[in-house]
Chain A
């Protein structure tokens, strides 16, 4: 479904990704792991159109997304849950979800999609009239995921969903992501919790200093060496 084809990208003079190739098939869950500063977030940002591609191509179902702006890419069915959640703190929980359904196509199904999100995250339903900024970190992350689901995407990009959460919350969050996956969404996830994420996904890529180093099935990669590499990048 998604093909990242020999992409080079960066900010200003700085190049963050070199010749990166990656693919995600429909229905698959794929993880990108690697040490800090490896370019994982940049990878997510080029897919959602926040960072332009310098060389290479980006395709969704065979159509090039190169040069498309972020809001156009969302309408193609890719939802990005950015690093640090980035919910709208002074909007209510419900308004945040409304923003997730900003696209006209998603608006028409608002009530139905919202019901699914409430089912998935009952705690959000309880707090729907609360300002999002008053939620706990874990709840904010759920809101960020729920908000992404509101656009009725086919592919969800999750960037470090467990960042800054208490260990107990991390476990709950991974449970929830598993349920999202079971609903049939295709997922591309960037994570620091390598062990947990490998138990969740089908395949994984190891990204180091802007290049893909290893690629393989999650089950095969769940050995010590890979995990160690991902953490410390040796």
Chain B
């Protein structure tokens, strides 16, 4: 196979990895802090994508404004998910928690189908393709990657420079001690869920400029996001980014060598094996 094609796939892998990392960080935050797996997390991304799509096409909003609105909308949605669904079942068995967010998954997918049918909808932005060393790279992907990096940096500064951000990191280390510091757990959980939602919203914005959206979009990126979070190690932001890049390279390069489905199969098998070898994540710490 042509080396340039592989190089192109590798670069595309990195570009996809940026957006995946954004998702993985958002989910990692919620999983690590609230200790609940939001099975429906990536379906929030789908909501963000639709929000941008409709604001731009039906209401004629400029894209940047629609993007900001979508991020805000999904952040509020994340807050509501916590308030309405998660907080009543915080003490329930894990299987119930999985099911409640699973119900949200059915709900979001079906309601989107009801409202907007199963049509694939695309913004048709017609962004240029950039040629670098014989590789053809989509400008939309470069743009998405840049904003993904900015989003991650924003999260990093929030988590390290602010009181509430530092408290969010501390929660996963000692849930009880953080209450003794005067932090209200309910508030910490709410802020975490809103930030997680906002990350999903941003990912939605970055995906709608590259892909078309449909009600089952979450099924494409959902499972891979979960396994990236586990592989990277809970509460390990750097690990989440590395795992995202590894997985997106597997998917991207595997996609042109074999098929997209087989590439995903390889990614999942890598995950299953890695769990056995290093249950705490490839870059996780042993407790």
Direct A/B contact, Cβ within 8 angstroms: yes
A interface with B by C-beta (< 8 Å): 48, 50, 69-71, 74-75, 79-80, 82, 86-91, 95, 98-103, 106-107, 147, 151
Q: B173 to A82, Cβ gap below 8 A?
A: no
Which of B81-89, B177-185, B222-230, B246-254 touches A? B177-185
Contact A107 B179 (CB under 8 A): no
B176 contacts partner chain A, Cβ-Cβ < 8 Å: yes
Q: Is the CB of A88 within 8 A of B179?
A: no
Q: Which of A69, A74, A91, A107 contacts B173 (CB 8 A)?
A: A91
Whether the pair B179, A102 counts as a contact (CB closer than 8 A) is no
CA distance A19 to B34 in the complex (A): 36
Contact (A90, B166) CB under 8 Å given A50-B179, A99-B178: no
Q: Is the CB of B180 within 8 A of A70?
A: yes
Q: Taking the complex as formed, is B2 at the interface, i.e. its CB lies under 8 A from any CB of chain A? A: no
Instruction: State A69–B163 Cα separation when bound (angstroms).
Output: 20
CB pair B163–A107 under 8 Å, yes or no, is yes
- Which of A71, A89, A95 touches B185 (beta carbons < 8 Å)? A71
23 A-B contacts, Cβ less than 8 Å apart?
Answer: A48-B180, A70-B176, A70-B179, A71-B182, A71-B184, A71-B185, A82-B176, A87-B174, A88-B170, A88-B173, A88-B174, A88-B178, A89-B173, A90-B169, A91-B173, A98-B166, A99-B170, A101-B163, A102-B163, A102-B167, A102-B182, A151-B181, A151-B182
* A91-B173, A98-B166, A99-B166 given; A69·B179 CB < 8 A: yes
| Chain B residues positioned under 8 Å from A90 (CB to CB) | 169, 173, 235
- The minimal Cβ–Cβ distance linking A101 to chain B, given in whole angstroms, is 8
CB distance from A138 to the nearest CB of B (A): 19
Contacting residues, chain B, for A106 (C-beta < 8 A): 182
Instruction: Select which of B163, B177, B182, B185 is within 8 A of A86 by beta carbon.
Output: B177
Query: Chain A residue with minimal CB distance to B179?
Result: A70
Q: How far is the CB of B254 from chain A (nearest CB, A)?
A: 34
* CA of A79 to CA of B182, assembled, Å: 9
* Top-10 shortest CB links A-B: A74-B182, A70-B179, A86-B177, A103-B182, A102-B181, A88-B170, A88-B173, A71-B184, A99-B181, A102-B182
Question: Which B residues lie within 8 Å of A48 (CB)?
Answer: 180
Tell me which residues across on chain A come within 8 A of B163, comparing CB atoms.
Answer: 98-99, 101-102, 107
Task: Give every chain B residue within 8 A of A80 (Cβ-Cβ).
Answer: 180
